[in-house]
Structure 1
Amino acid sequence: MTDTSRRPGGRSARVKVAVHRAVTELVAETGYGNFTVGDVAARAGVADSSIYRRWGTLEALTTDVALTWLTTNSPIPDTGSLDTDLRQYAADVARDVSGPDGLAVLRLIIALSQAGAPGAQARDQFLTERRGQLQQMLDRAHARGEHPPEALDVLDHILAPIYVRTLFGMGTMTSDDVDTLVDRLLANVPA
């Protein structure tokens, strides 16, 4: 009897990691729209057909790269307090986006959003995932009897400044910077 299911961590996982790494490197080096599936395949050491078979299009591949990065970085903290959850989350996001992969993924999402309907869909998926992460944290705070802000307020007051500073090369956010963002947001939340 042969098990025909895929093994986690097997060849398929190694190919995904290599292809994702290749996309991230190419975005960082050349920008989105300046490489092909063939370039990704060559960099990853896989056949073009492997990429087409698994992802179908370059847009689907790059969307998968962005969503995978988002779901494997900046985990949602659960410290028992919205204040400390937000501080930890913001610090994690600032750390993750300031790394080379984070900057490449942010640039990728921006480029995708300008690349027609498939790109806009990729951007929307990324934002929906990010909003879902925030909502999970805010829902837990509400269940504890706290008065959380809206997810859009967290995006506007915490994530947007972090993203803008990263995208424009304005320096990494320090823990004091992150605390200031959280303090400003929470100061405006009705009790």
Structure 2
Amino acid sequence: MTEEEAEAVRRRPGGRAARVRQAVLAATLEALAEEGITRLSIAGVAARAGVNETTVYRRWGSREKLVLDAMLTGSSEGIPVPDTGAVRTDLAAFARALAEYLATPAGRSVAQAASLSSGDPGLAKAWQAFWQSRLDQAGAIVDRAVDRGELPAGTDTALALELLCSPLQTRALLGHRPIGPDLPERLADLVLDGLRGRAED
């Protein structure tokens, strides 16, 4: 086997590196859910994942980068960005996926961690990167709608997504009202009515 072939085997999808990454990220989300961000440590995550602490440091370098990767991976896999061909069904599908994700232990831990303010500059930077990455991904829904003429040019992408997602996050985190099965569609309609009504004023 040549050196190039050996390297390809080491990096193959589903190989040891991929399994280690999956185990560490899962352990990070578990630690977030059980201990909170302030008590989470790389040593604790490594013990949960059954790997050496040096392995985690070598791959992620810092607690902040590890938490960011876990949150981004968990939310990206749990809340895919739909492309149904119409903005209403895109928004409703995205809201439904978010509601379902927030009902899982991993989803709750990500939402709780991301909702906390932190005096730690490194963590604050990680939160900012997390929200910006999710906005960039989900913003494609609004961008496509503008291109199709379903929404006016200049639509505030961030505001549209905040209006769609905030009620779901509030209900999931505070628990004072359940997320009904028809809420995603209702929120999609309210957001579109607001965006289109504003454009007509």
- TM-score normalized by structure 2? 0.87
Kept in 2, the 8 Å contact 1:94–1:172? The answer is: no
* CA-CA distance at 1:115 after TM superposition: 4.2
1:114 aligned partner: 118
Q: 2:65 aligned with 1:67, yes or no?
A: no
Kept in 2, the 8 Å contact 1:62–1:108? The answer is: no
159, 168, 179: which one pairs with 2:165?
A: 159
Q: How does 1:1-191 map to 2 (within 5 A)?
A: 1-2=2-3, 3=5, 4-5=7-8, 6-111=11-116, 113-147=117-151, 149-170=155-176, 172-190=178-196
* CA-CA distance at 1:168 after TM superposition: 1.4
* CA-CA distance at 1:51 after TM superposition: 0.5
State the Cα deviation string for residues 145-177 of structure 1 (Å, max 9, x = none).
Answer: 211642222233211111111111235422212
- Distance (Å, rounded) in 1 between the aligned partners of 2:119 and 2:164: 27
Kept in 1, the 8 Å contact 2:29–2:71? The answer is: no
Kept in 1, the 8 Å contact 2:83–2:141? The answer is: yes
**Percent of aligned pairs with the same amino acid:** 36
Amino acid at match of 1:140: R
State the Cα deviation string for residues 92-131 of structure 1 (Å, max 9, x = none).
Answer: 11111221100101122234x4142211111111111121
Aligned-residue CA RMSD in angstroms? 1.7
- Distance (Å, rounded) in 2 between the aligned partners of 1:48 and 1:140: 43
Question: Mean Cα displacement is larger for which, 154-163 or 82-91?
Answer: 154-163
Greater Rg, structure 1 or structure 2? Answer: 2
**Count of matched residue pairs:** 190
Kept in 2, the 8 Å contact 1:157–1:185? The answer is: yes
Unaligned regions of 5+ residues in structure 1, if any?
none
